[in-house]
Amino acid sequence: MKLSLKYKLLSVFFLVVVTGISTFFFFSRKTFLEDKKLFVMDWSLTTQKASTSEIKLELKSRLDELQVLLPRIFSAPAKTPINSPQITLGLSERINSEILAITFYQAAGDKYAAFRKHENQKLLDTLGLSTTALTELEAAHPLQFPTSEEKMDIRLINRSATLSGPQGTKEVPILTMMISGRLVNESSTETIIAIDLLQNFLQNTLKQSELANLFLIRKNGELISHANDSVLLQFSGKTFDHPIVKRLSTTNLPREAFEIEIASEPFLANLSASGIGDVYVVSQVKKSDAFKALSTLAWQSLQIGLIIISLSLIASVIFSSKLTENIKKLEAAARDIGAGNLNVKVNIKSGDEVERVATTFEWMTGKITSLLKETAEKARMEEELATASLIQNTILTPPKLNIEATEVVPYYKSASECGGDLWDAFVANNKLTVLLGDATGHGAPAAIVTAVVKSCVATLNRFSKTEDLTPSQILNRVNEIVYQSCKGELLMTMCVAQLDLSNGELSIANAGHEAPLLVKSAQFSPENSEGKKVKADALFARGERLGFGAQSEYQSLTVQLEPGDTVLVYSDGVSEAHNDTGAMWGERNLKKTLASVGNMSLEKIKTSLIQAVETFTQGTPQKDDITFVLFGWKKSKSQSNPLETSQAA
């Protein structure tokens, strides 16, 4: 569209603000709805669990007292009032204030007949009920006894009813507990005891939540208890008219959370087994009540959004004119620079980013020439570095080492294009020599040092076949070459380990390098039945770094290997591998890992070490090369036809 930049900016800004606020409002509301729903469900479930525990505790405490009360009643004369002192002595006062009547029924064929009944006349009088009230209760809601096939320990029944009294009828919430006689006496298997109680204690528990409605219901749909007396009376002895009844017939879980509709009103509901027979506890919360705060928040957010949009438009109109004027100046300056005028001056004093861009234009023209020169120089250096890397990889490409009496397994990972680590292995005069060095620094200088040392070792190996060079002698000669070549400017640490393949004698010399680690195979033998901790021992030998001094001396350490022993020679890049927080893996973890897999093959040990380092570093770029060499002694090898080969990285 052919519109000025000012109006395009206003249009874009308006669309961005409106779209951003609308999108934020939509997704925030959606997220808040889900979060609020989960919170309400979780809160309702917590309330439900607490109420369930309290209900179970209340019923258990009453059952415990009934187990004391019922034998007393049964041994008392017929029709003795429940509130008699000889019956309730020592029991809590709630026995007198809750139990209306206790009736004993005896099986008579397929039916049950009442043979004893004890009433609480004092409580009936307190409630203002007549002497015929309990008879009216039996007539209104006769008990349904279990069949002979049914097994019943306890059953809760809602027998709330409207009963007559001297002052008129009265609605009484009644809970009947039917329990098997064997809970009182194991021989009373044919007896069922019905205890009629006031439901107040259950209703008080169900009323504790201010937001959720709680009630008890049996799996067959019978309402057991409800906070509302009128609901209790309406569905006493009837199937509860509630969507939860259908859910109960299909549920197989001890606890469920779902949404239901009651009279076209959405509810969030939780259903869980109470642990009392087939009774379930249900809690329900109106969705409108749960999300009432969200509606208020949405309206307030809409108002704030409209205010923000209005203020933003006003501010945009004020500043857009000045902004476009300065942008035109920048456009003209850009055309001059494109035409080759590197002395362009842009006079903008707006005090904002546009002024800084103008200043950058002037600074940029002064840098273009120098950047072109630096780019050419950088390209030349990158080409030389690539050449150095190619030379290093060509010189240090390792051949395979395959010897019956021993095995050498290396690992090398460079931290840059040109690495500073070097390892070599060769067999001469039935002796395996393994060396590993670490040049100071990285890049081309380190690559040159490793190439010099590699050449020196290859020369020593080639022209010393008739004599046995000890590790100390190898270090002495390599030190002279490094010192003469680098003049003390570049140094290298190195460890040389030499294994006599005929007898397993291992000699080690060290030039300031990490001490090799040894894991003895005997630690994994069946004789180690005492469960001693497997250790990786460090083999220490002292010596100055290569190239530090022309006359440096190197000590030698000799140990005896047994078939199956494992030796690890490594660079400091292994123990000093770090993660993104800067923490180092450390020699302790290296020893622990090596000891834990020391009885495996060298390839598996290598894999385990690599995995352990990578797990710790989590892909963090490393500052140093990671190099290690594993070798061991399998068995003696005769002096005849010694296999000679070398390997480096």
Q: pLDDT tens for residues 569-607?
A: 999 999 999 999 999 999 999 999 999 999 999 999 999
pLDDT tens for residues 464-491? 666 778 999 999 999 988 888 888 788 9
Q: How far apart are CA 514 and CA 504, in angstroms?
A: 22
* Stronger pLDDT, 240 or 305, i.e. the higher one: 240
Mean pLDDT within 278-287: 87
Gyration radius (Cα) of the chain, Å: 46
State what percent of residues in the chain have pLDDT above 70.
83
pTM of the complete model: 0.45
Confidence class of residue 608 from pLDDT cuts 50, 70 and 90?
A: very high
Say which residue the tokens 């897999």 belong to. 597
The answer to whether 626 touches 610, Cβ cutoff 8 Å, is no
pLDDT score, position 334: 77
Strands 406-413 vs 646-648: parallel, antiparallel or unpaired: unpaired
> Would you give the DSSP letter of residue 522?
G
* pLDDT score of 16 more than 80: no
Tokens linked to 290: 């749960």
- Which residues share a beta bridge with 261? 266
pLDDT score, position 490: 85
* Stronger pLDDT, 368 or 138, i.e. the higher one: 138
Mean of the per-residue pLDDT values of the chain:
82
Q: Residue 329: how many CB atoms within 10 A of its CB?
A: 16
pLDDT score, position 37: 62
pLDDT score, position 159: 93
State what percent of residues in the chain have pLDDT above 90.
26
pLDDT score, position 638: 41
Q: How far apart are CA 497 and CA 432, in angstroms?
A: 8
pLDDT score, position 614: 95
pLDDT score, position 581: 93
The answer to whether 426 touches 461, Cβ cutoff 8 Å, is yes
Tokens linked to 267: 């509810």
* pLDDT score of 505 more than 60: yes
* Stronger pLDDT, 245 or 566, i.e. the higher one: 566
* pLDDT score of 196 more than 90: yes
Mean pLDDT within 153-175: 90
pLDDT score, position 639: 41
* Stronger pLDDT, 147 or 217, i.e. the higher one: 217
pLDDT score, position 284: 87
Mean pLDDT within 392-407: 67
pLDDT score, position 566: 95
pLDDT score, position 649: 40
pLDDT score, position 356: 76
pLDDT score, position 603: 93
pLDDT score, position 111: 84
The answer to whether 586 touches 546, Cβ cutoff 8 Å, is no
Mean pLDDT within 42-51: 76
Helices (H) and strands (E) in the chain, counts: 16, 23
CA 490 to chain centroid, in Å, comes to 47
Q: How far is CA 305 from CA 11, 60, 298, in A?
A: 17, 57, 10
Coil, strand or helix at 539: coil
CA neighbours within 13 Å on the CB side: how many for 86? 9
pLDDT score, position 390: 62
Q: How far apart are CA 482 and CA 491, in angstroms?
A: 8
* pLDDT score of 349 more than 60: yes
Confidence class of residue 642 from pLDDT cuts 50, 70 and 90?
A: very low
Residues 6 or more apart in contact with residue 443 via CB below 8 angstroms: 385, 416, 417, 418
Written as one string, the DSSP assignment of 20-36 is HHHHHHHHHHHHHHHHH
CA 558 to chain centroid, in Å, comes to 49
Q: Which of 80-94, 106-120, 339-353 has the largest mean confidence?
A: 106-120
Q: Residue 17: how many CB atoms within 10 A of its CB?
A: 16
Q: How far apart are CA 241 and CA 312, in angstroms?
A: 56
Least confident of 117-131, 249-263, 543-557, 591-605: 249-263
pLDDT score, position 500: 93
pLDDT tens for residues 214-230? 899 988 889 999 989 89
The answer to whether 102 touches 73, Cβ cutoff 8 Å, is yes
pLDDT score, position 245: 85
Size of the chain, expressed as the number of residues it contains: 649
Confidence class of residue 647 from pLDDT cuts 50, 70 and 90?
A: very low
Confidence class of residue 401 from pLDDT cuts 50, 70 and 90?
A: low
* pLDDT score of 45 more than 80: no
* pLDDT score of 328 more than 70: yes
Q: How far apart are CA 384 and CA 143, in angstroms?
A: 101
The answer to whether 398 touches 649, Cβ cutoff 8 Å, is yes
Written as one string, the DSSP assignment of 439-491 is ESS-HHHHHHHHHHHHHHHHHHHHH-TTS---HHHHHHHHHHHHHHHHTTSS-
Domains of the chain (ranges; CATH) run 35-290 (3.30.450.20), 293-370 (no CATH), 400-636 (3.60.40.10)
> Would you give the DSSP letter of residue 524?
G
pLDDT score, position 466: 60
> Would you give the DSSP letter of residue 641?
S
* Stronger pLDDT, 161 or 237, i.e. the higher one: 161
Q: How far apart are CA 84 and CA 72, in angstroms?
A: 11
Mean pLDDT within 269-289: 85
CA neighbours within 13 Å on the CB side: how many for 410? 23
